Amino acid sequence: MPNQASPPGRDPGPEALIRQALEKMLAEINSPAVPADVWLAVVAGEACRRLIRNWNGWTPQERRKGWEKAARDIEKAAYSTRPYCLRCGTCCRKGSPSLYRDDLPLFRQGTLTRLDLITLRRGEKGYSNEADRFVYLAEEQVKIREKPGSRECLFFQPAGAGCGVYENRPRQCRILECWNPEGYRSLKKNKLLSRKDLLDPEDPLLPVVKSHEERCQLLRLQEWLIRSVEQVGADDERVLEVIHFDRHARTYLGERFGLNQQHLDFLLGRPVEEVISGLGFEVGFEPGNRIVVRDRRSEGRGQRSEVGDRRTEG
């Protein structure tokens, strides 16, 4: 919003706001251009011209709408000064990519293995670039893992080298050009990769994955969590059963097949208790195999604890 940049009580006017936004944008994208190079192109645009012409007569709401349009023009003009990848790593630090069916050759050639992946299950929350907010995922997504405690892609090498698999990077990394927001649209035409694309039908792990998916469905779990909060304890037993089944499946796969945590993150997704927290609930364990479900959604929990990120398409 323009008035967030202005001192309280003082209206800097549309031109100053446009200038500030342009300077900030050029700096953010490491553009070699200076604001003066782009200024004329920006203020010649229809949205900025309207903003400047009508600012004094507009209501706050009209100003907001006018600014949103102008901001898109500013962004376009700024990126037109740098229409190529600098390999600066900004996008790699903001999250790892979701994978698409077109990425399957990367597994055949050995660039990617299951241990590099994490599954976001249907019903989890992930950040949608398109909607610019967290959404419940309508379908399963398989992503490259992020480094522990950060949103940085596993393959990003900060010490100057950039992407460790640049020549064979996933489709999303090639298509989502930060200077070209249109890339999001073309990405949507592709099919997301899912676990079954990577598991052989005869794989002995498949029955466990299927039964976990059935017994630990997240959309249903969320309904139970809500009911347990609204009708104090109504579905506690069901919630507990899901948590126990998830724990049991992980222990079984670990002991029977010797699988480590990374492998389980791909096969079963994140532990259910982590997902519950990401959905904005808290489960407290009490003596006697009892639980207490608390609703933390209004406290903003589940927003940043997500594995889903700016590169997750909902």
Binding residues vs ligand SF4 (CB under 6 A): 92, 96-97, 144, 153, 155-156, 163, 165, 169-170, 173
The distance of closest approach from Cβ of residue 169 to ligand SF4 in the complex, given in angstroms and rounded to an integer, is 4
Residue 100: phi and psi, rounded to 5, are -120, 165
**Dihedral sign for Cα atoms in the order 270, 271, 277, 280:** positive
Indicate the residue among 69 and 147 with the shorter CB distance to ligand SF4: 147
- Distance between CA atoms of residues 206 and 222, nearest Å: 25
Minimum CB distance to ligand SF4 smaller for 169 or for 263 = 169
Q: How near is the Cβ of 309 to ligand SF4 at its closest, in Å?
A: 10
Least CB distance to ligand SF4 at residue 60 (A): 39
Provide the minimum distance between the beta carbon of 290 and ligand SF4 in the complex, in angstroms, as a whole number. 43
Tell me whether residue 78 or residue 153 sits nearer to ligand SF4 (CB atom). Answer: 153
Q: How far is the CB of 157 from ligand SF4 (least distance, A)?
A: 8
**Nearer residue to ligand SF4 within complex by CB, 29 or 243:** 29
